[in-house]
Structure 1
Amino acid sequence: MKILISPAKKMRVDSDSLPPLGKPAFLADAKRLLATLQAMPPEQLKALWGCSESLAAMNVERLRTADPDRALTPAILAYEGIQYQYMAPQVMESGQLDYIQAHLRILSGMYGVLRPFDAVIPYRLEMQAKLPMDGQKDLYGFWGGRLAAHLAAEDNCLLDLASKEYSRAVRPHLPDSVRWVECRFVTRKGDKLVEKATLCKMARGRMVRHLAEKGAQTPEDALDFTDLGFQYSAADSRPDTLVFIKED
């Protein structure tokens, strides 16, 4: 089983905590994307990123000095979003770190697919960015079916903990031989089940940690997850969708 998660917009450099163990599988593509970004004027980059002036300025400066071949930060430590805070890889035991290296995969607009200890540089490029490449209008077209093919070659079962923005870069291209199981984290409000974005990110991070702690091998190993007040609901789940409910 491979577990899929999204990256985070906020990134950092950490060359001291843990060493990287390899290079990204799609590093050559990442370099091409980086070169395309580096050739764009700041105003165009700001529009592509859809961010504030200060964030745009910081990321333009990052682009100026970016060198993927000199990356020193493992991907799992490079991302600083809520999901990663609640996963807390910095305090995982060695066996849990070995587990996520073997089973966890991070989807990325820049790098395609990352193992946790692949060396990366800070970047800003979401999967849904409309960046024309190779005659394609956006990154979904650029990556095409390559990410799905890469993951299918690794495993015949994928547990989806990624956001829809990233899941859609993989799922439509998977062969029928690969089992796809999505985890949903919802809050019950009256007779409605509602997804709360921040709570979902927190739960996804905790779920990764839960699976690493028990050495999970199948999606069914996730069913006893109870962190943050969530409980698995068999009544609301389907074979390809595991639903965890938190009572409001």
Structure 2
Amino acid sequence: MLVVISPAKKLNENCKKNVISNFTVPPYLENSKKIVKALRTYSANKLSKLMNISEKISLLNYERYIKWSLPFDESNAHPALLLFQGDVYRGISAEDFEKEDFLFAQKSIRILSGLYGIIKPLDLIQPYRLEMGTQIKIGKHNDLYEFWGDDITNAINKDKNNDYLINLASVEYFKSINKNNLKSKLINIFFKEKRDGRYKIIGIHAKKARGLMSRFIVKNKIVNPLELKKFSEDRYNFNKTLSTESEWIFTR
């Protein structure tokens, strides 16, 4: 069973690295290098317009891409699961993981990324900001979905734990996976709450819930998807009535 989640815009570059030493590197760094080369042709002002970000944040990321360099090691890069912050990662709360938790996460969780394609929790990465939906042309490719093509899907298909794919990613990031070419049985997870008599997805709450379920998977070492139905964090419970075979709805 593999779980896919989205990355985060907010980063913690002061994250502790001494909690684990089994670091790895992303599989598609040569592709990442091509993206960085394209991004370096943008001024800070043009990055601001491309990414729809403030002048301060665009300058920070302009400098990040100028500094970006291979090879990655512990002196210039950070483990992805600890670098990413934001609602999903607050739910995961990996800061208190034991060694066995990190190792299980490494086997079970994959993070989808605009710059790196697909990464494992202990992959060392350098700080960046690049959402998957960014309209940047790279060579003959018109955007990042086109650039990554089937690379992300192929990486999942090659994974020995790919019998089931649990989708805890956002729509923007999951679009980078070609569902038609997936070998895994796909289960999409949705978190909804009752508003005005109807169940709705509330973005900020759903993000945190995705993180909480990711943590639930890691802490309980879950390899059978059926065990996910026991998830009851933050008052969410599996809703059998609303769910289908491939879409599991948790409500509160």
- CA contact under 8 A between 1:15 and 1:72: conserved in structure 2? no
2:175 to 168, 177, 181: 168
- CA contact under 8 A between 2:44 and 2:55: conserved in structure 1? no
Per the alignment, residue 59 of structure 2 pairs with 57
- In 2, Cα distance between the equivalents of 1:52 and 1:20? 36
Question: Which sits farther off after the overlay, 209-218 or 116-125?
Answer: 209-218
- CA contact under 8 A between 1:20 and 1:73: conserved in structure 2? no
- CA contact under 8 A between 2:92 and 2:214: conserved in structure 1? yes
Q: Which runs of 5+ in 2 are unaligned?
A: none
- CA contact under 8 A between 1:68 and 1:121: conserved in structure 2? no
Per the alignment, residue 153 of structure 2 pairs with 148
- CA contact under 8 A between 1:46 and 1:53: conserved in structure 2? yes
| Identity in percent | 26
- In 2, Cα distance between the equivalents of 1:98 and 1:159? 18
Q: In the TM superposition, what is the alpha-carbon distance from 1:68 to its structure 2 partner? A: 4.0
Per the alignment, residue 115 of structure 2 pairs with 110
Give the residue type in structure 2 aligned to 1:227. Answer: E
- CA contact under 8 A between 2:44 and 2:58: conserved in structure 1? yes
DSSP-derived class of the 2:110 partner: strand
- CA contact under 8 A between 1:129 and 1:139: conserved in structure 2? yes
Per the alignment, residue 191 of structure 1 pairs with 197
Per the alignment, residue 210 of structure 1 pairs with 216
1:74 correspondence with 2:76: no
Q: In the TM superposition, what is the alpha-carbon distance from 1:20 to its structure 2 partner? A: 5.8
Aligned length: 245
| TM-score in terms of structure 2 length | 0.92
- CA contact under 8 A between 1:106 and 1:115: conserved in structure 2? yes
Per the alignment, residue 97 of structure 1 pairs with 102
| TM-score in terms of structure 1 length | 0.94
- In 2, Cα distance between the equivalents of 1:231 and 1:110? 35
Q: Which runs of 5+ in 1 are unaligned?
A: none
Give the residue type in structure 2 aligned to 1:35. Answer: K
DSSP-derived class of the 1:223 partner: helix
Q: In the TM superposition, what is the alpha-carbon distance from 1:219 to its structure 2 partner? A: 1.9
Per the alignment, residue 140 of structure 2 pairs with 135
CA RMSD of aligned residues (A): 1.5
DSSP-derived class of the 1:235 partner: coil
1:28 to 27, 30, 34: 30
- In 2, Cα distance between the equivalents of 1:141 and 1:108? 14
DSSP-derived class of the 2:234 partner: helix
Q: In the TM superposition, what is the alpha-carbon distance from 1:43 to its structure 2 partner? A: 2.2
- CA contact under 8 A between 1:148 and 1:173: conserved in structure 2? no
After superposition, where does 1:218-233 map in structure 2 within 5 Å?
A: 218-233=224-239
- CA contact under 8 A between 2:111 and 2:119: conserved in structure 1? yes
Q: In the TM superposition, what is the alpha-carbon distance from 1:94 to its structure 2 partner? A: 1.9
Per the alignment, residue 12 of structure 2 pairs with 12
